[in-house]
Structure formats: structure tokens, C-alpha cells
Amino acid sequence: MKLTKHAHACVTLEKGDTRLVIDPGTLTPDAAEAVARAHAVLITHEHFDHFDAKLLAAALETRPGLQVYGTAGVAAALGSHGGRVHAVAAGDTFGVGSITATVHGHRHALIHADIPCPDNVGYLLDDGAVYHPGDAYFAPGAPVRTLLLPTSGPWTKLGEAADYVRTVKPERVIQIHELMLSDLGRHSTAHLLGEQGLTGIPIDRFEPGTTVRL
């Protein structure tokens, strides 16, 4: 499987002839291009930096084969589109071409008691090859080889991130959701959480457009 890192929380995953995109939100400049080449789009939750409703609605209209998976809130925002928009929740399993996915978690991490938390799901792909948690530090309770780790945002805390990595115990960590950090912030976060820091596991920092083989 190949992973392409886009800006913020968005990634493209490719295996064989199958291509899917997770969380192409409004903060990802090339989201439209990524969606245009995808067989399916997976959305963790309905916040704008993960879910561009206008982009996906337009793509569903122009591409009759496109499938979208997301929370009930995401599905309600898009409509059915002939059954091609699928509401998923923890415990669900589905396949997109050669890629299998299981759904984990329930809620967005708490920002503040005065701010409601939407539903949030994580996607574990191909029996643990990669896990995208969305905006939550929810451990899927299954082996994870590559963890996509959110490191910035109003809900994140580096101490919780460290404990999360220790709980999941992945072989590899890739930093995502880092757009609110400066270059110094991304570097220091990777150092604190990485191989020589609190977790003992290497953490990769990739520029948007970077493709790696998992």
C-alpha cells in the first residue's frame, strides 16, 4: 500500500488499482484533485478541515461510481446519492476494491465543555496496515503498523498524544493534522514524541505531496 500525505489531515491510500482518500477538507489545497482520482472518500467527522461538503456533493454528481463513507452527520449533509453515501459507526466493516476497512471510535475529542463534540470515527485499513483516528485519540484495540497521529488543534495535548502512541504501540508514526504548527513546532513535536522522546517510536514528518510505501 502507498500513502500520499496531503495538507493537514488528508491522505490518499493506494493498493493495486484501488485508491481512496481520507478527510479531504477545506484546508487541503489539492483536495479536489485527490477526490477526482479516488474510488471512495472516507470522512472521520463533519468539521470543515476534514469534510468539504460542497466538494463532495459536486464530485458525487459528476462521478457516478464514487462512494463516500462517514458518520451519520456527514451522510445527512450529503444525502443518499442513490445509496453511494454510507453512514458508518464503530464496529462496521466494509471494502473498497482491494482495501478493507473497519470503523472505530465514537466521538470527537473534547475541546471545551461549552463546545459540542460531533461523532468521530477512525478507519483501520487492511488488517492494521494504517489507522487514521480523525480528531480523537481512540485506540482501536487491534494491531496497528502505521499510525497517523494528529499533533495540532484546539483539542490536542502532547502528553495525551504520547500516551496514545504508547497504548496503540504502532511500528511507525506519521504526523498529520499539523497545519497549526510552525516548522519549529512540527520539529519539536516530532522530537518530543519520537524515537528519542516519550514513545521510543520514530515519527515521520512529511511535506504535502510526499508518497511513501507502507
26-47 pLDDT, tens digit per residue, is 999 999 999 999 999 999 999 9
Where do the domains of the chain lie, and which CATH numbers do they carry?
Answer: 2-206 (3.60.15.10)
Buried b (16+ CB within 10 A) or exposed e, 166-202: eebebebbbbbbbbebeeeebeebbebbbeebbbebe
Predicted confidence at residue 71, as pLDDT, reads 98
Distance of CA 124 to the CA centre of its chain: 10
Predicted confidence at residue 209, as pLDDT, reads 97
Predicted confidence at residue 127, as pLDDT, reads 94
Average pLDDT for 93-121: 97
Predicted confidence at residue 36, as pLDDT, reads 98
Predicted confidence at residue 107, as pLDDT, reads 97
Predicted confidence at residue 174, as pLDDT, reads 98
Residue 7, all three cell numbers: 495538507
CA distances from residue 117 to 72, 73, 97, 106 in whole angstroms, order as listed = 14, 12, 32, 10
Backbone angles phi, psi at 36, to 5 degrees: -60, -25
Share of the chain above pLDDT 90, in %: 100
Q: Tens of pLDDT along 119-159?
A: 999 999 999 999 999 999 999 999 999 999 999 999 999 99
